[in-house]
Amino acid sequence: MKIGAANKKHVIVAGTLLAILVAVVIYDLAGSGTSSAAPPATSTTIARGKPGNKQVAQNSTDPTFHRLQLEESRKIKYEPGRNIFEMQAAPMPTPVADVRKPTPPPAFTPPPTPPPPPIPLKFYGFASKPGETKRIFLAEGDPQNSIVFIAKQGDIVDRRYRVLQIAANSVQIEDVLYSNKQTIPLTVR
């Protein structure tokens, strides 16, 4: 096989490109290992404007994206006279002491307890047979649709009212829930 003039040029170009590729790979591999070279230079800027500002170091050769620094820079508001090209926090306002004396809250007074509700029973009379205890008739509700209870002394009516004492013209009843005693007179129906 003969190599012609055109093929010689292609072989030379391919060899040169191969040599450059080998040199780049060796350089890249040698650069990724540990070296005694100095770290990349950082540019330092000093925040100017107000006394007491801190020195802020920025790496101008670092191409990586720093999301936290971007978020912090978005929180800073522009103020006239501030250099927007330097990263610095706005100065904290000095707290002002409160000269007013705290007033104590008004004393809480609970509302008065309402009086217990009246007992809604009506006394219609009693029945007594010789040798038996005296029984009374009590009604609750309106006259047309009333509920009638028959009870003796000491009984509890409607799960709430206790019959304490039976007299000829009245009956004394206690509301068990509220400890309210009430005398109900005899009424004619």
How far is Cα 9 from Cα 188, in angstroms, rounded to an integer? 138
Query: Over the stretch 120-146, which tens digit does the pLDDT of each residue have?
Result: 998 888 888 888 888 999 988 887 888
pLDDT value at residue 101? 77
Q: What is the mean pLDDT of the chain?
A: 79
Q: Quote the pTM value.
A: 0.41
How far is Cα 185 from Cα 179, in angstroms, rounded to an integer? 19
**pLDDT tier at 33, thresholds 50, 70, 90:** low
Indicate the domain borders of the chain: 43-75, 121-185
Which CATH number is correct for 121-185, 2.60.40, 2.30.30, 1.10.287, 1.10.10? 2.30.30
Residue 47 has pLDDT above 50, yes or no: no
**pLDDT tier at 53, thresholds 50, 70, 90:** very low
Bridge partner residues of 140 (DSSP):
121, 147
**Where is pLDDT greater, at 78 or 124?**
124
Token pair of 181, please?
């005693």
